[in-house]
Amino acid sequence: MSKHVGASTSDLAAAAAEFARSGVAVVKELVPRPVAVYLSSVLSVMHGAGRLTSDRSQVPGAFVTYGDPAFDTLLPLLAGPMSQITGVELWPTYSFARTYLHGQELTKHSDRPSCQYSVTVHLGASDDEAWPIEITDLGGADRSIELAPGDGLAYLGCELTHWRGPCPSQWYSQAFLHYVDRSDRNLVFDGRPSLGRPRPN
Ligand SMILES: [Fe+2]
């Protein structure tokens, strides 16, 4: 699978060292940039077709999708690189994608148990305004991390507090891919019978 991923072996090794130290690691072009551009366009088409839902929890009013095949497909494709970065054999749980709108914020939080090992990938935005993700790493340091389209930020979703200030762009799209340790099999696919399905009730 690694041939489908933009990151080089040396980039993944460097990310693994950083992840082991801090629980956070950036990988440039974890997803090849043209694929990120494509997925940003997929979200735009889904939005136009009324196939995104309005986020009622973390970012009220943002447009989101859970478990869509276009995004769940990234889970197995990136499981190998994510296992290299984290040093843990991982199972996919679920994908999520969100288009934030101007002024929307992501309040400080950590993630639910299906998000032990997560990577957030920037897909695209209406402009080049910087909009960093803020995260407190394992050493207690507050980090401010900017991503270009295709870049991934791997992080310990359940352990590390993360947030964003107000979105400066008209729109800004991001994919989230979540994994758990292979020892935690009841969380595989987030309780679904397969990838590509809606969230179970
Ligand atoms: Fe989160």
Choose among 29, 38, 33, 39: nearest CA to 8.
29
Q: Assess if residue 126 is contained within a domain.
A: yes
Q: What CATH number is attached to the domain comprising 165?
A: 2.60.120.620
The stretch 10-15 carries a mean pLDDT of 94
If one compares 26 and 5, the residue with the highest pLDDT of the two is 26
- From ligand 1's centre to the CA of 132, what distance in Å? 14
- From ligand 1's centre to the CA of 116, what distance in Å? 11
- From ligand 1's centre to the CA of 179, what distance in Å? 13
The DSSP code sequence of 93-133 is EEEEEEEEETT--EEEE---GGGSEEEEEEEEESS----PE
How many helices (H) does the chain have, and how many strands (E)?
4, 11
Q: Assess if residue 197 is contained within a domain.
A: no
- From ligand 1's centre to the CA of 2, what distance in Å? 26
Partner residues linked to 101 by β-bridges: 171
Number of domains present in the structure of the chain: 1
- From ligand 1's centre to the CA of 112, what distance in Å? 8
Q: Assess if residue 56 is contained within a domain.
A: yes
- From ligand 1's centre to the CA of 111, what distance in Å? 5
- From ligand 1's centre to the CA of 49, what distance in Å? 26
- From ligand 1's centre to the CA of 180, what distance in Å? 15
Asked if the model's pLDDT at residue 4 lies above 80, the reply is: no
Q: Assess if residue 72 is contained within a domain.
A: yes
Q: Assess if residue 129 is contained within a domain.
A: yes
Choose among 8, 20, 7: nearest CA to 139.
20
Q: Assess if residue 199 is contained within a domain.
A: no
* 177-193 pLDDT, tens digit each: 999 997 778 899 999 99
Q: Assess if residue 201 is contained within a domain.
A: no
- From ligand 1's centre to the CA of 158, what distance in Å? 8
Mean pLDDT taken over the chain: 95
Would the CA dihedral through 89, 35, 172, 25 be positive or negative? positive
* 84-141 pLDDT, tens digit each: 999 999 999 999 999 999 999 999 999 999 999 999 999 999 999 999 999 999 999 9
**Per the confidence metrics, is the pTM higher than 0.75?**
yes
Residue 22: domain span: 2-188
- From ligand 1's centre to the CA of 163, what distance in Å? 7
Q: Assess if residue 200 is contained within a domain.
A: no
- Classified as helix, coil or strand, 11 is helix
- From ligand 1's centre to the CA of 161, what distance in Å? 8
